[in-house]
Structure formats: structure tokens, C-alpha cells
Structure 1
């Protein structure tokens, strides 16, 4: 059950030391994932960027090292749309333990047609949910070797207004890209919460926490050339939106706190403070449909079948 203990003040610019910890950030080469990785490296963690594009991953690692003196950061090739490759990616970490994984990577398509992976799964559902579901199982031995590992799943505010169609998880009927994306993120969030319930039932010391970044715009995001370049014009055009949303540096704060704050409990949802869209990270009430344990359990079983993953938690 989520903790009811008072939440202590948190300074996003003065993070607790994470020296000696190993953390994998999927999609850590760009966007919110990049800033999650940069902030965790700044706290002293050894950070591994998981990315399907090795050139972009190396560029991101160089950028982090330039901003964080002495940063321990490297990358591993990770293609979440290729389920067969995930075992090799986990082995390529060459770690004796993994203290945390931030399941952040994702793909969002704006227009039809519907696309499938080599495994014949719809691309967004496969990458955002099934890939992370299968990766977590591959990482289980490394996470179990840590004294108190954390699995942090990055959801989306877009999932708040959606519901899963358990009879059409692959969106084979009436494919609508934005809805399919939102449902894939909802599946991720349900997975993160169901995972924590199973960890608690197994007596595990690992925790599973769900976050969402709120609203994040490139125009409000500080430059990190060549990873991200914001012009003066971009910044000025984005100022009005800053009343409601934020940049990707701030959008990384919920995930970073979910990894580092000792007060964070398994089964919690962490989100921006102001209407869930911007501001400092805080624990937020679970949306009603996130509390549906029957749907989460059915999704878990379906995910096991679609990925060929052993249904046991293994942590």
C-alpha cells in the first residue's frame, strides 16, 4: 500500500547523493529521458542510456559529461520493439546489480497507417508497453541483486481519459494513433502498479513506482546542443504556455524523485504539483481506472502471452 507518511520538502536542484548506484534509463538519449539521465548523473549515479540509436546515445553521453564533471555515463543498444533482442541488451549492461530502471522510452505516431513490429505487434503498444514489460523480466536478476531496487514507469497525462480495450489491445479495429498512444501509456501505468502488488505479495524489497511528467514542450526546454537546441524565438513563443505546462527538464523531476527519494513508496503515482501539468513533483491520487486490479491482472496475463515472458515476477 502507498505510504501515508508525511512527504518531506524536496529540492530538485539539491538531490541526495546516489554515488555507487547503477541506473538504466530507457530512451535516455533525448527528450525527458535525457534530463532524467543528466539529473541522476549529477547526483553521482552511474547512468546507462538505453537507446536503439547508438550515435544519438553517444552524443547524449558526451553532452551529460560536458555538464556534469566526472559523470559516470554510458549507453547500451536497446530496441524495445524487438523482443528477441532484449536478453542481449540486458547482458550488455555488464553489471552485477541494477539499483533502478526508469522505463521512459516511447514512440508516438501522429498519423495512420497502423504500423507493426517484426513480431506483428502494433508499434506503439509494442514499444511503450510490451517492450518494457519484457525488459523488466530480463532485468529481474540484476534488480534482485540490489538491496532495494526501484522500477519507475513513466506514464502520461494522456492516459487519464482513456480506457483499455482488453479485446483489442493491438488496435486492430478502428485504429486512431492518439488513442492508441494514450492506451499504450495507460497499459504501462497499470503494469507498474500491478508489478508492485506482485512484488509486495512475493516479499520483495524492490519497489515499483509510476510517474507522469505533465505537459512538456520543447520551446520551454533549455538547450543541450546538439541533443536539443532552443532558439530565442522558440523561447519567446513558448512563454505563454509556461503558465500551464513546462519544459522537459522540469518534466523529468517526478521520475528522478521516484528513483532517489527514500520517502517514495511502491504503488504510488508521482506527478507535477500544479493540476498534474507543471511544478514540483508530488504524490498524486491514483486515477479511478488505475485502481482496477482486475483489468491490471488481465493485462498482465495478456502481456505474458504476447511476449512469451514467464509470468513470475522473479525479483
Structure 2
């Protein structure tokens, strides 16, 4: 990635160059993922948008190219809810090595009805966690082929108040959309830390970093028409919230720093500076429930059973 000095102050608006790097951003066509892709594109890297909908990805790429002169951006079809498609999606990258993947894509439902993926897994847990878990397995040879590489998992502040029910990971017993979403993001974060422990144990050159965007609202996000249009009314009504939270463009900063900053290390947690909700990215102590290695090991084993793959079986 960048050769910038690890002692240089980090500037979210003056990113280091990464011209020879290739980065994959899942869900890079919208929301925080879009801004991660836009910001990484400004470094000279090749940025690949992993998107279930290639039409939406084309719109996102046009937006990036309009704002970043010479942006090297392309897309691959990636449906994290379809585990059987992931190996083919990775093959379609057609690269010899991958410097980083940002596990960003996610599903958040308000619908009170429980829904499932085509594989019969609860939709949010199956997409947000299991999809990225399985994708990592297929990406690991490409990540290992780079001199150094990073797996950056985008969690959520919503996971801070949740705890995993290892006996009901798919919310069969008591499905509540917001809680199930929070737990799916918590599972992602627990996986990110456990992945790094396993990579370190085998002396891998791949590092796993966990980030979260804090509070990131559409109403505080700058327009990227036609992807997102911020109206004057929405901006004014959201102004008081800006004291505590931020837009999705700023919510992308921790992930971008985790990809680019040579000072970032595997096994770290990065989030916004101000109360973990807004501001420039900084390292923060791992939340206590993210450090439970027994829970992490049980989640890993369950995830292997549910996906049929093991990301740790291929040394990075």
C-alpha cells in the first residue's frame, strides 16, 4: 500500500498514493461503501466495486469518474446472499493479487417478518456475516499473493450493545429486525478479530482490521446524484444531529484509513474520534465482548458448518 511514514499525521483529505494497489469494496455502489470506493479511487489505486446489481454499480462508477480524474474503477457482480456464486465472483476479478478487501456490504431490514437467503440462512446474518466469511476463503489466495494485504471488516456501532446467542445465530426463536441486524454486524466484527488471530498464528502477511463508521446518516451526506440527493430541507432538519453524528462520507474514513495507513495493524479497532460517533478516524480499545476468544472460536466453527468453507484452511 502506501510508503508514507507511519509518523505523519493522518489527513482524511490528503490520502497517500496507492497507484499499484488493487482494492475490492463490497457494496461499493451505495452508502458508506460508495464513499470508501470514491476516496480510495483518489489514491490512484484500482478499485473494484463488488455489487449485486451491476446497473447500480455502473451509476456509482460514473459518479466516481466525474469526481476523480483518471479514476481506475470497475465492478464485479457479487451476491453475498448466494454462497455458491462467490468463487466465480472472485475468479471474475482477474487479478494476480489483492491488496485489500473492505467487507462493507450489508442488509438491514425493518420488516418484522423473518426472511432467508436462497441457502436457507436468516437474511441479515447470512449476508452480512456468512457471505463475507465465505468470500474471505475464496479471496485468501489473492490476498496472500500481495506483499502485504488487509481484510477490513466494517462493523456497526449498533453491535456495541448486542451479544451473540450462539444457540440461535439465525434468530429462529425470537426474531427482532434491529437486534438481528446488530448481532449480524457483531458477528462480522468478532470474525474480523478471530481472523487476525488465526493469520498471526500461521505467520501470514495478511492482516485483519475491524472498523465502524459511528453514526452516519443520509441526511448529513453530501449529494452524489443520482445515487443520493441531499435536499435543503433534509439538511436543515438534520443540522442539530450533526453535533453527535455525521454523513456517510465521513463514516467511510475509518475503513479508508484501515486500508491505507501503514501505522494500522491487524487486530485493531478503528472508529470516529468523538465518542465513537463522529469525527476523524482513530484507534479505539476493542469492546470487551469482541475480545472473548471462546465465543469467537464457537462462531468460527458454526460459520464453517453453515457455509461449508473455512477461511483459515488456506494460509494467507
TM over 0.5: yes
Residue 64 of structure 1 corresponds to 64
1:159 aligns with 2:159: yes
1:50 aligns with 2:11: no
Contact 2:112 2:177 in 1 (8 A): yes
| Distance in structure 2 (CA, Å) of the matches to 1:116 and 1:8 | 46
Q: CA RMSD in A?
A: 0.9
Question: How far off its partner does 1:7 sit?
Answer: 6.5
Contact 2:213 2:277 in 1 (8 A): yes
| Distance in structure 1 (CA, Å) of the matches to 2:21 and 2:290 | 30
For residues 115-264 of structure 1, the aligned pairs below 5 Å read: 115-264=115-264
Structure 2 residue ranges without an equivalent (≥5): 1-5
| Distance in structure 1 (CA, Å) of the matches to 2:246 and 2:141 | 37
| Distance in structure 2 (CA, Å) of the matches to 1:48 and 1:289 | 33
Contact 1:156 1:182 in 2 (8 A): yes
Contact 1:199 1:313 in 2 (8 A): no
1:314 aligns with 2:315: yes
SS class of match (2:102): strand
| Distance in structure 2 (CA, Å) of the matches to 1:166 and 1:237 | 41
Contact 1:115 1:122 in 2 (8 A): yes
For residues 21-100 of structure 1, the aligned pairs below 5 Å read: 21-100=21-100
Question: How far off its partner does 1:118 sit?
Answer: 1.0
SS class of match (1:280): strand
User: How many matched pairs?
Assistant: 310
Residue 103 of structure 1 corresponds to 103
| Distance in structure 2 (CA, Å) of the matches to 1:188 and 1:245 | 22
| Distance in structure 1 (CA, Å) of the matches to 2:46 and 2:304 | 31
TM-score by length of 1: 0.97
Distance 1:69 1:21, change over 3 A: same
| Distance in structure 2 (CA, Å) of the matches to 1:174 and 1:291 | 26
1:268-312 CA distances to partner (integer Å, 9 max, x unpaired)? 000000000000000000100001001001100100010000351
| Distance in structure 2 (CA, Å) of the matches to 1:205 and 1:308 | 25
Question: How far off its partner does 1:8 sit?
Answer: 4.7
1:224-244 CA distances to partner (integer Å, 9 max, x unpaired)? 111111111111111110000
SS class of match (2:228): coil
Structure 1 residue ranges without an equivalent (≥5): 1-5
TM-score by length of 2: 0.97
Contact 1:80 1:127 in 2 (8 A): yes
SS class of match (1:192): helix
Contact 1:164 1:183 in 2 (8 A): yes
Residue 294 of structure 1 corresponds to 294
| Distance in structure 2 (CA, Å) of the matches to 1:268 and 1:135 | 21
Question: How far off its partner does 1:111 sit?
Answer: 2.1
| Distance in structure 1 (CA, Å) of the matches to 2:203 and 2:140 | 15
Contact 2:141 2:314 in 1 (8 A): no
Contact 1:269 1:283 in 2 (8 A): yes
